[in-house]
A and B are shown apart, each in its own frame.
Chain A
Amino acid sequence: MSAARDIAVVAYARTAPGTVTGDLSEVEMVLPVLREVLGATGLTTDRVGFVCSGSCDYLAGRAFSFTMALDGVGAWPPIAESHVETDGAWALYEAWVKLLTGAADTALVYAWGKPSAGDLPEVLTRQLDPYYLAPLWPDSVSLAALQARALLDAGVTDERELAATARRARVGGPEAAEPAVLPLRRGDCPPVTDGAAAVLLAAGDTARMLCERPAWIRGIDHRTEPHALGVRDLTDAPSARLAAERAGAYDPAAAPLEVAELHAPFSSQEVLLRRALRLGEGVCVNPSGGALAADPVMATGLIRIGEAAERVRHGGARRALAHATSGPCLQQNLVAVLEGDPS
């Protein structure tokens, strides 16, 4: 849906891509990005109207781990705060709704993941249907590989295109060609990455006051596929397309999309999403390197929104699309459309 009140990304920070920060606690990882977005806008926690975070206890294996990270915000005396147990893009969605209601003018959104603490593909089996799928422990790479095979069989892509997508995302060594779970090779899969990201949202004149060129969220929507993998057409993501449509991505009166940041941890999923979202040749996809270059799970989707906003705020783009996903084989999809004021 589109907004009745103008809300924008006014600041964004992320930890360095591609790092594993084993010696840092979660709050130690989160603190620098929180300080960076607050510092960029001159805000302090007590002047932020709403705080919302995204993370998952299963990554580090600790219950209520978000409460520890909350220390980094400065949550005492009590602040207006919420948390989602999924990617931070959904925390941003909640914050956007909060700002729409007029209950707050600014919101701090942050997310982090420390998947290096466990075996991520195995940990992600625990998000699956507990009756029919979880007892088989099908890891996330294997499920993505089933989707990649479906795309190859349908003639949607070929191994050359997958390899080219993987190469563009990051500098691949010779190991990129080694089999992971065929047809996926190691270069088609994301590296284990720890990291955090923060985004500051503001409404209307507050946004204009806090930064020079706000990245206005013109629309944001999220949709889901049927939860049974075997019911879905794994070569398409109709829920992502519907979310994009509802977020205004195909508004014929709007400026053309110039940039798209797609949350595609696997090369095959980037190919699928370009097609499902009907992104033309003129759209620059994943200039940040995307999730294939760095996948700090639970922050990866929020980073897509932050990176798309950066292209609008500092990269001269007029209009950008950001996509976030959660679940196996692009199960849930969120799309935001961001715009800068005409220059």
Chain B
Amino acid sequence: MTASAQPAPLSAPLTVEFPFTRSLGPVQSAFLTGLRERTVLGARTAGGRVLVPPPEYDPGTAAELRELVEIAPAGTVTSWAWNPAPRRGQPLAAPFAWVLVRLDGADSGLLHALAAPGPEAVRTGARVRIRWAGRRTGAVTDIACFEPDTESDAGSAGERAGEPGADRADAPWPRPHAAAFADPVTAVTLPARLEYTHTPGRAQTRFLHALAERRILGERCPGCRKVYVPPRGACPTCGVATAEQAEVGPAGTVTTFCVVNIKAKNLDIEVPYVYAHIALDGAGLALHGRIGGIPYDEVRMGLRVEPVWTEGSRYPDHYRPTGEPDADYDTYKDLL
């Protein structure tokens, strides 16, 4: 069989989700617990700079940073960008400005969102104040966003009644802080979800289209003549494209197998069952599949099998014995 016209590309949605659980060191723990308590902490370097959010090590000297001080919940915008179409997960659902804010008492910028009606309402140098989230867990999202601050000036106290530290309203920022909280957060779980459109490529598209027609289509290397199934588009030995198609099987030989005794999550197959490497007739390597239609303890190397398609399925559900005599070891020994 020679190369045929390329069928329509296949694609499928692919969602990758992974919750990272990360432990916090003393600095991150104090900062994030502080946010939960509506208190902003920064780290003071040996050189006297106060960095917020606090790093664990001085970016200039690599010295360990342990002295934490309290910073104002209000500050000055040092840069901004207008985000007209917020994405999933970003702090605000309506258009907002990303801002770098130098909080009063700090010498570095904190990245967050600023709630504003439009870009004309935002400028570098504007005074802004933290809007705390209603439900706070000890995360950077405990800051819901920033909002324009009409009440405070740079360097002034600027607390509102009821906020921590309001009783010391005249003390300059930064202020000493013990950075000790009851029930500190020691770990954060950070869910991540990314959505993709997966495309399998031309070789696998050809293979999958043929499989839906119950034909198993491998591809032959023009160099070593080996037939790859499933094909991936390249011969890993020769490093060349495998564009010549070759139909293989449908019958094949069990080259090796294992007995599965552990039930897989979300898999509706009774254990024990046999999972095998199967060298389809004409293929240059074995693929793998489940063996059915025979007691698990009767499966053996050399067993002749054929694919079983279920109604409407694009791929074989499993392989079953053909009833032929077992294949001679010499016919498949190179495919183990």
Contacts and interface: CB of A to CB of B under 8 A. Distances in A.
Given A146-B79, A149-B124, A61 B111 contact: no
Contact of A45 (B194, B195, B233, B239): B239
A276 interface: no
B82 A73 contact: no
Interface string A12-35: 000000000011111110010011
Interface in B50-85: 51-53, 55, 59-60, 78-84
A35 B240 contact: yes
Interface in B1-38: 6, 9, 11, 14, 16, 20, 22, 24, 28, 32
Interface stretch (B155-163, B202-210, B250-258, B289-297): B202-210
B40 to A, nearest CB: 12
Contacts of B246: none
B232 interface: yes
A230 B139 contact: no
A138 B111 contact: yes
B81 A132 contact: no
A138 B239 contact: no
Given A72-B239, A142-B81, A146-B98, A60 B87 contact: no
Contacts of A103: none
Interface stretch (B88-96, B260-268, B320-328): B88-96
B299 interface: no
Interface in A135-151: 135-139, 142-143, 145-150
Interface residues of B, number: 66
B81 A146 contact: yes
B196 A117 contact: yes
A126 interface: yes
B117 interface: no
B113 interface: yes
Contact of A131 (B28, B91, B204, B238): B28
B175 to A, nearest CB: 20
B18 to A, nearest CB: 9
Interface residues of A, number: 63
Given A74-B238, A132-B140, A25 B203 contact: yes
Contact of B24 (A26, A60, A131): A131
B204 A25 contact: yes
A23 B55 contact: no
A323 B14 CA distance: 34
A72 to B, nearest CB: 5
Contacts of A121: 87
B110 interface: yes
Contacts of A130: 20, 22, 190
Give the most central of B81, B83, B233, B240: most A CB within 10 Å.
B81
A161 interface: no
A269 B198 CA distance: 31
Contacts of B195: 118-119
Interface stretch (A169-177, A180-188, A277-285, A300-308): A180-188
Given A134-B190, A145-B81, A28 B203 contact: yes
A179 interface: yes
A231 B197 contact: no
Contacts of B235: 71, 74
Contacts of B119: 182
Interface in A14-70: 22-28, 31, 34-35, 45, 58, 60-62, 68, 70
Given A71-B236, A137-B89, A181-B84, A132 B98 contact: no
A145 B82 CA distance: 8
B153 to A, nearest CB: 20
Contacts of B28: 131
Given A126-B194, A137-B90, A179-B84, A74 B237 contact: yes
Given A31-B234, A130-B190, A149-B124, A231 B51 contact: yes
A133 interface: yes
Given A137-B88, A228-B51, A131 B32 contact: yes
A234 B102 CA distance: 14
B81 A182 contact: yes
A135 B190 contact: yes
A100 interface: no
Nearest to A229: B111
A230 B240 contact: no
A31 B239 CA distance: 8
B81 A135 contact: no
Given A138-B111, A230-B100, A231-B59, A22 B199 contact: yes
A234 B111 contact: no
Contact of A24 (B79, B100, B139, B201): B201
B241 interface: yes
A159 interface: no
A264 B11 CA distance: 31
Contacts of A226: 59-60
A35 B238 CA distance: 11
A122 interface: yes
Contacts of A156: none
A175 to B, nearest CB: 14
A211 interface: no
Interface of B: 6, 9, 11, 14, 16, 20, 22, 24, 28, 32, 51-53, 55, 59-60, 78-84, 87-91, 98, 100, 108-113, 119, 124, 139-141, 188, 190, 192, 194-205, 232-241
22 contacts: A22-B11, A23-B205, A28-B233, A31-B239, A34-B239, A73-B239, A76-B236, A77-B237, A122-B194, A130-B22, A131-B22, A131-B140, A135-B89, A136-B90, A146-B98, A150-B100, A179-B84, A182-B84, A226-B59, A230-B51, A230-B53, A230-B110
The 8 closest A-B pairs by CB, nearest first: A25-B201, A74-B239, A230-B109, A145-B81, A226-B59, A137-B89, A23-B9, A61-B196
